[in-house]
Amino acid sequence: MIKFAGIADPYRVGVYSVERNAAVLQRYRYLHEGLLRAAAGQLPGRGDWNLRMGMCKHLYEDAEAADLLHKRIPELRTSSAVLVKDPDPRLTLLMEELVHAQTDLEWASAVYEVIKPAMLEAFRHHLAHTQQIVDQPTIRILRQAAADLEDQIEWGAALLVDLRTQGEPSGEEQELCSVLRLLLQAAGGVAGDLPRSAEVPRRWRSGKPYAIPSRSRRDPNRMGPTTLARTGVENPPADPVLRELVFKMRVRQEEMTACDLIAGVLYSQQHMPWSFYHDLARHIWDEARHAMFGQAALEEDGYEWMTRPQYTSDYDVNAEKIPAAQYAWLSIGIEEGAMVSLGKKKEFEWCRDEAKHPLMTQFQDYDWADEVVHANLGRKWAPDLMGEPIGFVREIAQKELDHFWAEVRKAEQQQAK
């Protein structure tokens, strides 16, 4: 249609008033944010490698959708004060039960078979029944969110087949799913527009607060054990340049441990502005992509990595520290440090000029670009978290680095014995 800039159905009255729309979008925002926070809390305890990658991608996509809704809701004659509020205690309970998932299968079935399908159905309904001219800014947001949800649910279905056929401990995933379905029903569905009873649901597992694990997990069936010392590949090449290159590929692959660390910070650090959580979601997804760089390079060149020991020091060595110290260690100690030493630039140039490996050169080129962003995130948030100026945060980060390297050296000496 040429008229109305191609907007279909321009004459039909929609079902959402401004007030109703804002209330419904507030629920969507809450669910995307709740999924982000729960995924961050769950990540260190999840084992399956493919699930971990999916979690990191999807929590970033949840953060992007939530961010757009943060901007849209105040456009609907609604105070931005609602953006820090939970819209419905039954949805709050839904998220509190979700974060208690105890197995990979429980998490994946709850997210990809219950919560996300319910959100997709609600978004499709919204897209179809809102007035197409008045609500075009919302339509644009929900179309993208629905497209992401479709991909996520399709991917989740394939992952669940894999988890179920490899005999992943089944846990109580059916029970968790029925608890979550009942909570959604009690809340009148995702949009809150279905009939609901006056009976308020009881807690199931969430009577105790969720405790984030003190050691990160890797799949004990398909992967090697976790380790605080790097182990490279099984039969490293004799050629010194090639050996260094393959070692570098594994260092990238093991960046999953940085995802765990940032996820722990995101989950544990409360009462920060929304932009902090939005930034950290991106930071997690970037580190997961860096791990994919290593995985892709190793697999392309025929090196086995999955059954090798898996380096988990970033999370495990720093787990007892407060989130402010953890984030200062990573973003200022490691990431800003790599800018000061030109470490990231040198890695890129080495892959290009010495190793002459096109795929790793491209990966390191973008890795360097991402790390410039991360060092900036560190300068933005680490002083805020610590309540100290950047100069003092750098001193703190140095102390944390000293502690970290001492622990890793100890593990390396143990391994050498």
Task: Give the per-residue SS3 of 55-66.
Answer: HHHHHHHHHHHH
Comparison of 172 and 349: residue with beta carbon closer to Fe ion: 349
Nearest Cα neighbor of 285 from 17, 125, 63 is 63
Contact flags string 5-24 toward Fe ion, x per CB under 5 A: --------------------
Whole-angstrom distance, CA of residue 375 vs CA of residue 244 = 25
Residue linked to tokens 């948030």: 381
User: What is the DSSP secondary structure assignment for residue 199, as one 8-state letter?
Assistant: P
- Stretch binding Fe ion (CB under 5 A), from 1-9, 132-140, 206-214, 330-338: 330-338
Nearer residue to Fe ion within complex by CB, 64 or 335: 335
Tell me which of 37, 46, 357, 374 binds Fe ion, using CB under 5 A: 374
**Contact map string, positions 344 to 373, toward Fe ion, x by CB under 5 A:** ---------------------------x--
- Beta strands (DSSP E) in 54-187 are none
> Residue 398 is inside which H or E element, if any?
helix 390-416
> In the bound complex, what is the minimum distance in angstroms from residue 44's beta carbon to Fe ion?
17
Nearer to Fe ion, 29 or 374 (CB): 374
Nearer to Fe ion, 32 or 374 (CB): 374
Per DSSP, the chain holds a count of helices (H) and strands (E) of 16, 2
Q: Which is nearer to Fe ion, 40 or 98 (CB)?
A: 40
Beta carbon nearer to Fe ion, 126 or 344: 344
Q: Which stretch binds Fe ion (CB under 5 A): 62-70, 160-168, 267-275, 329-337?
A: 329-337
Residue type, 316: D
Subset of residues 47 to 86 that bind Fe ion, contact rule: CB under 5 A: none
Minimum distance from CB of 287 to Fe ion (Å)? 5
Secondary element (H or E) of residue 157: helix 136-165
> How buried is 197 (Cβ within 10 angstroms: 0-12 exposed, 13-18 middle, 19+ buried)?
exposed
Interacting residues with Fe ion between 266 and 305 (CB under 5 A): 287, 290
Other Cβ atoms less than 10 A from the Cβ of 185: the count is: 16
Cβ proximity to Fe ion: between 163 and 256 the closer is: 256
- As a whole number of angstroms, the distance between CA 387 and CA 385 comes to 6
CB 184 within 8 A of CB 190: yes
Element (H, E) at 208: none
From the list 169-177, 226-234, 255-263, 379-387, the region that binds Fe ion by CB under 5 A is: 255-263
Which residues are registered as beta bridge partners of 226? 310
Find the shortest distance in angstroms from Cβ 262 to Fe ion.
9
What's the closest the beta carbon of residue 251 comes to Fe ion, in angstroms?
10
CB of 315 to Fe ion, least distance (A): 14
Q: For residues 250 and 253, what is the distance between their CA atoms, to the nearest angstrom?
A: 5
What's the closest the beta carbon of residue 290 comes to Fe ion, in angstroms? 4
Q: Which residue, 97 or 287, is less far from Fe ion as judged by CB?
A: 287
* Per CB under 5 A, 27 contacts Fe ion: no
CB 34 within 8 A of CB 78: no
- Rounded to whole angstroms, the Cα distance separating 236 from 416 reads 16
Nearest to 251 by CA among 204, 168, 304, 310: 310
Q: Quick one: 112 or 327, whose CB is closer to Fe ion?
A: 327
Applying CB under 5 A, the span of 115-123, 172-180, 250-258, 345-353 interacting with Fe ion comes to: 250-258
CB of 288 to Fe ion, least distance (A): 9
For residues 316 and 335, which CB has a smaller minimum distance to Fe ion in the complex? 335
Q: How far is the CB of 293 from Fe ion (least distance, A)?
A: 9
If residue 343 lies in a helix (H) or strand (E), which one and from where to where? helix 343-353
Contacting positions for Fe ion (CB under 5 A): 255, 287, 290, 335, 371, 374
